[in-house]
Amino acid sequence: MTWIKICGTTNLGDAQLAIDAGADAVGFIFAKSRRHIEPQAARAITDALPEHVEKIGVFVDERPERVREIVAQAGLTGVDLHGEEDESTRNLLHSAPVEGRRIRIFKTLHMQEPKEMEFAHTRILAGLYDALLLDSGSHEQRGGTGKTFDWDATEKLIRLISVTARVIFAGGLTPQNVSQAITRFKPWGVDVVSGVEAEPGRKDPEKVRAFIAAVRAAEASLGTAGGR
């Protein structure tokens, strides 16, 4: 099944809502954001969640040592590097696992600026990271735009990236358009924030349930069982 992450989690109730609805992962934003959460507050949430649920931290150009420190403090199982990070964070987490855990590491590609992206470079990234997250952010605004990137203009690049990498689709996804993303691109995973919120940092229960139901319905229509 398609891997589903509900990101921008700021409280235990929203995390439990996402899990009960069928999400595979919840995300916590440690970068500057209206959905920012402190590591200790995140830990109070992650400690209360089932072990099988992935807890992913979002970082933007944070020092590798600080990323590792927050991973330990917050009880994370994975990170999404959303800025201009090189491989140093990945190398540190791989060489020094946190509490003996292998940490999943995702790298975000900002699809608002596809002309800056060379396919050869994405092939290198595919070999370094567990998945590549395609988002609608830019240098000015890294994420949380609430807008989709141009699926038509980037379709060829997306299909090329998907040959060598697990792809996580993000950027402006909603219960209304996520099925189209899945049937058109068949990503390994999907990631949503604003599309399931009542307001920044607080989830809308009906939107969360509708989003996950739309993902599963799209899978059923394709007869696929990818992801995870």
Is the CB of residue 125 less than 8 Å from the CB of residue 117?
no
Task: Provide the total of helices (H) and of strands (E) in the chain, helices listed first.
Answer: 8, 10
Beta strands in 10-158 (DSSP E): 25-29, 54-59, 78-81, 104-110, 131-135
Gap between the terminal Cα atoms of the chain: 6
In the block, residue with structure tokens 């402006």: 172
Is the CB of residue 144 less than 8 Å from the CB of residue 168?
no
Of 14, 135, 191, 204, which one is the catalytic site residue? Answer: 135
Give yes or no: 61 in active site: no
According to DSSP, residue 60 is labeled: S
The pairing of beta strand 131-135 with beta strand 167-169: parallel
Give yes or no: 7 in active site: yes
d(CA 28, CA 8): 5
Of 7, 14, 80, 130, which one is the catalytic site residue? Answer: 7
Positions marked catalytic: 7, 135
